[in-house]
């Protein structure tokens, strides 16, 4: 028997596979037993009611998708009353994703959801923020540090910072989050993108632009996960385009302690339980007794460390 | 299952009731210039969960140079637990449906379902009237089967561009439905004519419920007539979908609920909605 | 006959299709007549000799590729003596792509290549730069403005600034380039990415990381091209994942005046001449007499202008 | 064409001489446990450009769940302008070659070529010796055809794991070549034994040129023997490729040139290089 458990800071997970925020809900219980998962991660909520963005909210691009769901939210009251109790029936720890328009509102929500039944809080610092001209907190190290400092003070629960790929300063942002007390980094959210219908000449998304997710994002997210694992000492949770056990292994080898599966669940609702099985089988076949043995096992010659912190190509 | 999927009850449904399965194709043929019918071999446990108005989310294959990525929602056109068959009726419109059209007998198709909330037929509804246009008939067909099973009277008003694209007339008739066809070609499909036909039905036979899908003009008409005569109704709606399960919130449409406008998910709270709550678009 | 000519500032092109730097060379003349193209864009050169990066220099990722060619260069002398004369036999204007480790070296090279036979200079400000901790000039508006100011002084030729997607500040960087005197923006270069071979546990590129190009990049590059067209008044040249006439139209509709085709030429060496034919045919079929009529024709409701400058998703 | 592609002359070649074409597959069959042979119908103008040692860049199809993106380089195994045939011999190793293996007679394959610089056979080279292992034989086979056409003597030393994977022995013999087989199974493929065989050939018959490809150990051996006896040689090398045409500079390998180490493109300055300039890896 292969040991699939991993430790994300103080939180032990029975396996490193969990859903990505916004691509998972109670509804998936219709398809398989959610207790199979390493963690449950909810869709981001805000304090108050939000409608979300105009439709169409998704569109297809070459082998991947764009979304501009926005963050429709029924508010924190509904969430605490209706959603948290649902997940209490499971053993799997619940991770609550939150966001706010301002750092203070964000911090208030953070303390409000620090309740029984919640194992960790994922802070989605990759969505637009009105105090920074609509830039996400996680675009700049300074705004990352400021908001994380406030969030850190607002809760004693483990705090996972979810980073954005829409930045040229990934390692610096990662270190800012670590310095401000993040317990883990979720790497990464979607990257801003666009598609236009050439027949109607209208953007394919009602919101003009949206986030790219799915296989196209994987090489970018993997690079970021690697950069974050090298730049910080806190656990990294890889996310972006993961749809197979091979993808999971790529992130673990790069240094991720666990991974989130997002868009792949839309295509194959059973992707996560299947990957968990295949991960155990792969590790067994390759003679590993614990998944921990592959984490960070990338062979990157030390002289190349300098390259790691570049944010440019070629 | 249907109960479990009803609005508000979602949270109680933690036993797996939705299936992801590779099904074998029995046939996949052109039924007229625009539509194709696909017949799949399906397990009884899956077919027994099906209800009229529900849909499946199909993983269209990468074939013929088409590379669809997301699944495509398709209404259940027919489900036959005894025969072990699941039917779809589809129009080839883009990448996904073009890819579907490439499949042949013996190939497999991965399906997810049944999904969503189907049509209601209340115990005291005796005369049901459905008004459908184009591929909307695919969605309403199993309702006729169900009405037949329950021994209710059904009038199907089928609207189309011209006679040769009138779908399923034969099918509705075979189930003992009264079929009225109206076409653009004959100039009989105008809203005014439809209204006259329906008012006639109400006056002569009485109508207990309306069912429709798709057309905005027909929705407005039925809302108006329904309100006037206090006849309830349901409409099946479409919206772009990613997950099909209720997780992503991409498939919302606005509905009137107790003086507020709320967004509901077509894949979860729908695709069948109360006709008066639906908002023309 | 449809008019395919476009004006990139003072430079008139016979059609809007040109190769992307680094994916084109004299060698393509073996396959078709290079005079069919709207412009010729050379691989980036540096002043002195450079070896380029260790192999493997390319790898495949889902439906796209990564490269870490680096910038192998035979230096400016060889270039002026051997390469420019080759292109003189063509009518098509020659655009020379250059880069430098420091702003001053970059500017020196810029004036050195401002010679007869060169119609415009594309400045690749998206490669690592030692004065900015290895960040590319085009990651930050300030470094963009500084280097572009020096480059502007170094030449009277049209100056095209090639931007990077590795930034959270695309509109600001675009405006900085415009303010410093760029005549056009090339949008965009590759985005930093990574892939790992799970069997060897080694990065698939000898240089650890590299740039993602091909279809996966398209929705990101399109978003940037749109942002740049909205943020500035200078022509935008779209680049990233273009492989069909539909892709070209998407960029033109978004506001690009011309486009560059890169990786697609590796897959289909005849991609560019084929796209030129198909573009003329598409425009004729849709009743346009000039390609200029589709440029910038996107229908984006004005109230959404605010969204344009966000650099975050969802 | 060959001339136009020679190192340094590149700039003169502005007439299109490389073809991108959809070719029809005549056959695509397993020839032993590891290798498959593909025969394509090709136009004479393309085949007349081909030279031994050159390669084509194949657009492997999206088939059988494989989604190769970049083209795959494959040596010309045979080209027959009179028959209108182009042959490849390939080993199924990954996504692209797995996809190739799915193609059957009548399907089309998009090819780009001929590409690169082929083998040289100088006018005064009478006895040619080729040493090849594994799929390297695919690259060296057309050299035997050319030697036969030019009336030169050829000795082919074929090295393999065991007898049953010895490729092309029959083919080389049919062209009148002297074939020596060495295998790991029999313990005859050691470098020492190879050296003894080659030294024997030099002593008994004289050798004018060596040709090889692929193996590092064989390269070192031939470099040593070649230097000692002043016998020239050529080696065909492989490297990952994107464009195949010389544009992207991804396919470089280091070579010794006048006391410097320079990077040369395998697709353009190669895939055939001077044996003494090649550097073991
Ligand atoms: C609940 C439901 C039931 C449906 N039942 C049927 C049916 O029985 N028969 C039938 O022919 N069609 C039906 N449709 C419409 C069908 O889903 C679309 O025609 C199909 O998705 C088009 O895919 P495509 O790739 O061929 O077209 P494309 O235009 O290439 O599709 C691009 C994207 O838009 C989405 N899309 C396009 N049209 C629609 C649409 N009308 N509704 C939702 N998404 C759309 C696609 O799913 C895909 O994600 C139904 C839609 C819904 C929501
Ligand atoms: C000039 C030249 C001639 C060749 N001739 C032959 C031949 O006649 N028969 C034959 O069986 N093989 C030949 N090869 C090797 C052949 O190109 C590879 O086996 C093939 O590309 C593997 O592709 P894949 O998708 O099956 O494997 P994968 O390992 O999935 O390929 C992944 C990537 O690596 C590249 N790659 C993998 N192995 C090689 C290699 N050895 N050389 C170059 N690129 C590689 C692929 O092209 C692809 O881009 C030749 C290579 C070169 C450079
Ligand atoms: C439809 C959709 C909705 C999403 N909503 C959220 C969200 O609310 N909060 C968040 O942090 N990330 C959200 N994401 C981003 C995902 O959590 C994930 O970071 C991203 O999709 C990349 O992973 P993937 O390629 O596996 O999907 C959403 C993604 C999608 C596709
Ligand atoms: C192999 C390769 C080499 C490249 N070299 C350069 C370069 O030297 N200078 C440059 O500005 N861009 C270079 N690029 C980036 C391309 O010019 C282009 O911006 C990018 O590939 C996106 O376009 P595409 O998706 O059409 O390839 C290179 C890209 C590739 C794939
Ligand atoms: S399609 Fe995802 S919620 Fe309806
Ligand atoms: S493969 Fe592009 S230069 Fe050789």
Q: Are residues B138 and B85 part of one domain?
A: no
Q: Are residues D107 and D36 part of one domain?
A: yes
Residue B213 belongs to some domain of the structure: yes
Contact of B247 with chain A, judged by CB distance below 8 Å, is answered with yes
Residue C302 confidence class, pLDDT cut points 50, 70, 90: low
Q: Are residues B217 and B126 part of one domain?
A: yes
Q: Are residues D184 and D106 part of one domain?
A: no
DSSP-assigned beta bridge partners for residue D22: D110
* CA-closest residue to ligand 4 atom 28: C22
Residue D22 belongs to some domain of the structure: yes
pLDDT (0 to 100) of residue A302: 56
Q: Are residues B41 and B94 part of one domain?
A: yes
Contact of C270 with chain D, judged by CB distance below 8 Å, is answered with yes
Instruction: Give the rounded percent of residues in chain B with a pLDDT score beyond 70.
Output: 93
Residue A1 belongs to some domain of the structure: no
pLDDT (0 to 100) of residue C312: 45
**If you average pLDDT over residues C199-221, what whole number do you get?**
96
Domain of residue A103: give its range: 6-312
**If you average pLDDT over residues D84-111, what whole number do you get?**
96
Give the model confidence (pLDDT) of A195-206 as tens digits: 999 999 999 999
Domain of residue B54: give its range: 14-115
Asked whether the beta carbons of D192 and D167 are under 8 A apart, the reply is no
Asked whether A71 lines ligand 3 (CB < 6 A), one says: yes
Cα–Cα separations (whole angstroms), residue A130 to A103, A106, C76, C231, D168: 9, 12, 48, 20, 71
**If you average pLDDT over residues B113-125, what whole number do you get?**
95
Query: Pick from A256, A203, A143, A254: which is nearest to C169 by CA?
Result: A143
Give the model confidence (pLDDT) of A104-121 as tens digits: 999 999 999 999 999 999
Residue A41 belongs to some domain of the structure: yes
Contact of C140 with chain A, judged by CB distance below 8 Å, is answered with yes
User: Is the confidence at residue A130, as pLDDT, over 70?
Assistant: no
Alpha carbons B169 and B162: distance in angstroms, whole number: 13
**If you average pLDDT over residues D158-182, what whole number do you get?**
82
Cα dihedral across residues B131, B134, B139, B144: positive or negative: positive
- Beta carbons of C55 and D20 less than 8 Å apart: no
User: Is the confidence at residue C303, as pLDDT, over 70?
Assistant: no
**If you average pLDDT over residues C199-217, what whole number do you get?**
96
Asked whether the beta carbons of D137 and D158 are under 8 A apart, the reply is yes
- Mean pLDDT of all residues belonging to chain C: 94
Q: What is the DSSP letter of B61?
A: -
Residue D10 confidence class, pLDDT cut points 50, 70, 90: very low
**Within 6 Å (CB) of ligand 6, which residues are found?**
D 241-244, 246-251, 265, 267-268
Residue D155 confidence class, pLDDT cut points 50, 70, 90: very high
How many Å lie between the centroid of ligand 6 and the Cα of residue C147?
32
How many Å lie between the centroid of ligand 2 and the Cα of residue C282?
38
- Mean pLDDT of all residues belonging to chain A: 94
Residue B268 belongs to some domain of the structure: no
pLDDT (0 to 100) of residue B165: 59
CA closest to C224 among chain A residues: A193
Give the model confidence (pLDDT) of D224-262 as tens digits: 999 999 999 999 999 999 999 999 999 999 999 888 999
CATH number where C84 lies: 3.20.20.70
pLDDT (0 to 100) of residue B185: 87
pLDDT (0 to 100) of residue B63: 87
* CA-closest residue to ligand 1 atom 10: B90
Q: Are residues D182 and D73 part of one domain?
A: no
Residue B150 belongs to some domain of the structure: yes
Candidates C64, C223, C246; nearest CB to A194: C223
What is the complex's ipTM, to 2 decimals?
0.95
Contact of B260 with chain A, judged by CB distance below 8 Å, is answered with no
Give the model confidence (pLDDT) of B159-201 as tens digits: 888 776 566 788 888 888 999 989 888 889 899 999 999 999 9
For the CA of A27, the nearest atom of ligand 5? 3
Three-state secondary-structure class, residue A212:
strand
Instruction: Give the rounded percent of residues in chain B with a pLDDT score beyond 90.
Output: 73
**If you average pLDDT over residues C180-196, what whole number do you get?**
97
For the CA of D267, the nearest atom of ligand 6? 4
Give the model confidence (pLDDT) of D186-216 as tens digits: 889 899 999 999 999 999 999 999 999 978 8
Q: Are residues D194 and D91 part of one domain?
A: no
Residue C243 belongs to some domain of the structure: yes
User: Is the confidence at residue A208, as pLDDT, over 70?
Assistant: yes
Residue D255 belongs to some domain of the structure: no
**If you average pLDDT over residues C145-174, what whole number do you get?**
97
pLDDT (0 to 100) of residue A305: 45
Asked whether the beta carbons of B212 and B218 are under 8 A apart, the reply is yes
Cα–Cα separations (whole angstroms), residue C59 to A147, C27, C100, D74, D97: 38, 22, 26, 17, 16
D interface mutation test: which of B22, B59, B61, B62 has the most D CBs within 10 A? B62
How many Å lie between the centroid of ligand 3 and the Cα of residue A127?
11
Between D167 and C120, residue with greater pLDDT:
C120
Instruction: Name every residue whose Cβ is closer than 8 Å to that of residue C1 and which is 6 or more positions away in sequence.
Output: none
**If you average pLDDT over residues D43-71, what whole number do you get?**
94
Instruction: Name every residue whose Cβ is closer than 8 Å to that of residue B196 and which is 6 or more positions away in sequence.
Output: none
C129 vs A contacts (CB less than 8 Å):
312
**Within 6 Å (CB) of ligand 5, which residues are found?**
B 241-244, 246-251, 265, 267-268
**What total of structural domains would you count in chain B?**
2
Contact of C199 with chain A, judged by CB distance below 8 Å, is answered with no
Q: Which of D96, D115, D134 is the last residue of a domain?
A: D115
Question: At what angle are helices C218-231 and C170-179 packed, to 10 degrees?
Answer: 50
Give the model confidence (pLDDT) of C27-45 as tens digits: 999 999 999 999 999 999 9
D67 vs B contacts (CB less than 8 Å):
62
Candidates A71, A166, A311; nearest CB to C139: A311
Alpha helices in chain A (DSSP H): 75-78, 84-88, 103-112, 141-154, 170-179, 218-231, 245-254, 264-267, 271-285, 305-308
Residue C1 belongs to some domain of the structure: no
**Within 6 Å (CB) of ligand 1, which residues are found?**
A 60; B 55, 68, 70, 72-75, 89-91, 93-97, 135, 138-139, 238-241, 266, 271
- Beta carbons of C23 and D4 less than 8 Å apart: no
pLDDT (0 to 100) of residue C309: 44
CA of D65 vs chain B CAs: smallest distance (Å) = 8
Candidates B4, B20, B248; nearest CB to A22: B248
Q: Is C103 exposed, middle or buried (0-12, 13-18, 19+ CB in 10 A)?
A: buried
Lowest mean pLDDT among B15-24, C184-193, D69-78: B15-24
CATH number where B55 lies: 2.40.30.10
- Beta carbons of C63 and D18 less than 8 Å apart: no
Cα dihedral across residues C174, C180, C181, C182: positive or negative: negative
**Which chain D residues have any C-beta within 8 angstroms of a chain B C-beta?**
62, 67
CATH number where D215 lies: 3.40.50.80
Q: Which of B86, B115, B144 is the last residue of a domain?
A: B115
Catalytic residues of A: 127
Contact of C24 with chain D, judged by CB distance below 8 Å, is answered with yes
Asked whether D93 lines ligand 2 (CB < 6 A), one says: yes
**If you average pLDDT over residues B67-89, what whole number do you get?**
96
- Mean pLDDT of all residues belonging to chain D: 90
Alpha carbons A104 and A101: distance in angstroms, whole number: 9
**What total of structural domains would you count in chain A?**
1
Between B210 and D7, residue with greater pLDDT:
B210
Question: How many CA atoms are closer than 13 Å to the CA of B103, on its beta-carbon side?
Answer: 27
Lowest mean pLDDT among A26-30, B173-177, C223-227: B173-177
User: Is the confidence at residue C310, as pLDDT, over 70?
Assistant: no
* CA-closest residue to ligand 5 atom 3: B246
Three-state secondary-structure class, residue C122:
strand
* CA-closest residue to ligand 4 atom 21: C213
Give the model confidence (pLDDT) of A264-277 as tens digits: 999 999 999 999 99
Asked whether the beta carbons of D18 and D10 are under 8 A apart, the reply is no
Residue A115 belongs to some domain of the structure: yes
User: Is the confidence at residue B128, as pLDDT, over 60?
Assistant: yes
- Mean pLDDT of all residues belonging to chain B: 90
pLDDT (0 to 100) of residue B13: 44
Contacts of residues A235-239 at CB distance under 8 Å and 24 or more positions apart, as own/partner, are A235/A7, A235/A8, A235/A9, A235/A183, A235/A184, A235/A185, A236/A184, A236/A185, A236/A187, A237/A8, A237/A18, A237/A160, A237/A184, A237/A185, A237/A186, A237/A187, A238/A187, A239/A20, A239/A186, A239/A187, A239/A188, A239/A189
* CA-closest residue to ligand 2 atom 26: D94
Alpha carbons D236 and A203: distance in angstroms, whole number: 51
User: Is the confidence at residue C109, as pLDDT, over 80?
Assistant: yes
Q: Which of B75, B92, B115 is the last residue of a domain?
A: B115
Give the model confidence (pLDDT) of B108-118 as tens digits: 999 999 999 99
A263 backbone φψ class: left, alpha, beta (φ>0; ψ -120 to 50): alpha
């Amino acid at each position: 028997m292969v040991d699939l458990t991993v430790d994300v800071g103080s939180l032990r997970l029975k396996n490193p596979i969990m859903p990505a925020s916004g691509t998972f809900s109670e509804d998936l219980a219709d398809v398989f037993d959610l207790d199979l998962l390493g963690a449950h991660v909810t869709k981001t909520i805000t304090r108050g009611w939000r409608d979300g963005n105009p439709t169409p909210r998704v569109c297809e691009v070459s082998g991947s998708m764009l979304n501009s769901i926005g963050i429709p939210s029924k508010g924190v009251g509904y969430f605490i009353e209706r959603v948290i109790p649902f997940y209490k029936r499971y053993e799997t720890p619940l991770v609550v994703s939150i966001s706010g328009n301002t750092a203070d509102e964000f911090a208030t929500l953070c303390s409000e959801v620090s309740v029984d039944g919640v194992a960790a809080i994922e802070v989605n610092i990759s969505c637009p923020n009105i105090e920074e001209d609509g830039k996400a907190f996680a675009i700049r190290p300074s705004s990352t540090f400021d908001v994380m400092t406030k969030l850190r003070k607002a809760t004693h629960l483990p705090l996972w910072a979810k980073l954005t790929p829409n930045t040229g300063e990934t390692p610096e942002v990662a270190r800012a989050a670590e310095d401000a007390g993040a317990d883990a980094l979720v790497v990464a959210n979607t990257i801003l993108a666009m598609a236009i219908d050439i027949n109607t000449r209208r953007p394919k998304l009602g919101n003009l632009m949206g986030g790219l997710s799915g296989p196209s994002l994987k090489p970018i997210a993997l690079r970021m996960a690697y950069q974050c694992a090298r730049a910080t000492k806190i656990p990294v949770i890889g996310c972006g385009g993961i749809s197979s056990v091979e993808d999971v292994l790529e992130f673990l080898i790069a240094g991720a302690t666990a991974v989130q599966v997002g868009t792949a669940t839309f295509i194959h609702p059973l992707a996560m339980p299947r990957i968990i099985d295949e991960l155990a089988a792969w590790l067994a076949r390759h003679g590993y007794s614990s998944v921990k043995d592959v984490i960070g096992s990338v062979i990157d010659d030390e002289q190349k460390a300098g390259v790691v912190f570049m944010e440019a190509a070629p | 299952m249907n109960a479990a999927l009803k609005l508000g009850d979602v949270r109680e449904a933690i036993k797996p009731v939705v299936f992801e399965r590779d099904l074998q194709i029995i046939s996949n043929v052109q039924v007229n210039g625009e539509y194709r019918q696909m017949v799949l071999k399906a397990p009884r446990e899956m077919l027994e969960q099906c209800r009229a108005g529900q849909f499946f989310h199909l993983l269209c294959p990468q074939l013929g140079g088409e590379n669809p990525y997301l699944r495509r929602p398709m209404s259940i056109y027919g489900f036959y637990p005894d025969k072990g068959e699941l039917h779809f009726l589809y129009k080839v419109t883009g990448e996904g449906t073009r890819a579907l059209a490439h499949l042949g007998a013996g190939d497999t198709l991965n399906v997810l379902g049944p999904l969503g909330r189907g049509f209601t037929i209340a115990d005291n509804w005796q005369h049901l009237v459905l008004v459908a246009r184009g591929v909307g008939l695919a969605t309403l067909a199993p309702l006729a089967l169900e009405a037949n099973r329950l021994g209710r009277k059904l009038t199907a008003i089928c609207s189309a561009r011209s006679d040769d694209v009138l779908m399923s007339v034969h099918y509705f008739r075979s189930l003992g439905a009264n079929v009225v066809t109206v076409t653009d070609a004959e100039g009989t499909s105008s809203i005014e004519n439809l209204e006259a036909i329906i008012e006639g039905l109400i006056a002569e036979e009485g109508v207990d419920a309306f069912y429709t899908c798709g057309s905005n003009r027909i929705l407005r008409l039925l809302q108006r007539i329904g309100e006037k005569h206090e006849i309830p109704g349901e409409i099946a709606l479409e919206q772009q979908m990613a997950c099909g399960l209720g997780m992503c919130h991409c498939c919302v449409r606005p509905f009137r609920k107790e003086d507020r406008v709320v967004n509901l998910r077509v894949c979860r709270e729908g695709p069948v909605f109360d006709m008066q709550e639906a908002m023309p678009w």
